[in-house]
Amino acid sequence: MNDAQHTRKAILAARDHLNSEEISANSEAIRQRLLASDEITDAATICSYVSFRSEVHTLPLIESLLARGKRVVVPLTRVSERRLDLVAIDDPANDLAPGYCNIPEPREALLPRHLVDPQDLDLIILPGSVFDLRGGRFGYGGGYYDRLLAQVPGAGRIALAYELQVVDRLPLAEHDELLDRIVTEKRIINGNRHR
């Protein structure tokens, strides 16, 4: 196991030890901090991951964005093509179903009518396993979001993370994409993407 894999595994184990009350309270603090940001105010079309297991919960965020009149897009994993299709949703309760690895994803019935071109995205809200103070990100090893980010360099990039997922510096690879911001329950970290 290399250093990156070890770091990812250790941080995910710590995240998985958060209890449901900690996850809910931290997720709410992160949601409130994000909703107050200019990036949310200025964006019309926002892609957000749908949370799974111990990730920062995003369903309340998605509902808040929809209530504000935002066009909300969520990813549909295409494993054989190693890509994410982007699908607009209106009602998470009806539009999402268990998908790849049991992660909630858009129902196939929404396609192709609700398929969204990545170039239409103003902002992408990402998950991840570990983040650093430069805006570096380790995902889960599949590279799906790195490929999406490379397609849309003009879209804003914000990750949601618990403070325990943030380290000083990650050993990033050339293909790893930097973020604009990381929002935790305690702070907003400004990344180095445009510096």
- Residue 135 — left, alpha, or beta (φ > 0 → left; ψ -120 to 50 → alpha)? left
144 is in an annotated binding site: yes
55 is in an annotated binding site: yes
140 is in an annotated binding site: yes
131 is in an annotated binding site: no
Q: Which residue has the tokens 């200025």?
A: 42
The strand ranges marked E within 6-152 are 45-48, 71-78, 83-89, 96-98, 104-106, 123-126, 130-132, 137-138
Give the sheet arrangement for strand 123-126, strand by strand. 83-89, 71-78, 45-48, 123-126, 156-160, 181-183, 188-190
Rounded Cα distance, 121 and 71, in Å: 9
154 is in an annotated binding site: no
185 is in an annotated binding site: no
142 is in an annotated binding site: yes
Please check whether residue 169 is in contact with residue 118, taking contact to mean a CB–CB distance below 8 angstroms. no
Please check whether residue 159 is in contact with residue 128, taking contact to mean a CB–CB distance below 8 angstroms. yes
For residue 72, what are the β-bridge partners?
46, 89
81 is in an annotated binding site: no
69 is in an annotated binding site: no
Name the binding residues for ATP: 137-145
Name the binding residues for substrate: 50, 55
Name the binding residues: 50, 55, 137-145
